Amino acid sequence: MSFGIFDASSLSHVLSAHLQRSAPDSLLDAWAASRLQKFRTVLDPLSRGCFAAVSSSDAETIGERHPFLKAMKAAKAGKGGPPPSLETDVGSLEGWVPPEGGMEAEDERIELIWSKA
């Protein structure tokens, strides 16, 4: 579910750039490729690891096998870095046209559109 929220957030910026600021069609392709890459490298391996961990009948060692629980344990011990981000940096995509006033102004415009929907 969280992946879908990040999809909607970044897609709203990309669509706004495409529809309101004449960003090229290649921006949409770049966004789709970026989201697919995030899915393949971040979400899918984590999801598969979680499924495998909870599918086992060995409840005693789930904390050692479950990727999310292992990451939480490492963070609590002060080891490991932050979790991989699901966010797409739309500003780095090929074809990106930055909004006037910056991304904060863009977020406000998008919020206003959604509040009227």
What digits encode the pLDDT tens for the residues 78-89? 887 777 888 899
Q: Which amino acid is at 27?
A: L
Range of the structural domain that residue 24 is part of? 2-88+96-116
Is pTM beyond 0.85 here?
no
Residue length of the chain: 117
pLDDT of residue 94: 96
Instruction: Give the pLDDT mean for 46-55.
Output: 89
CB atoms within 10 A of CB 92: 9
- How many domains in the chain? 1
DSSP letter assigned to residue 87: -
pLDDT at residue 33 tops 70: yes
Q: What percent of the chain has pLDDT over 70?
A: 99
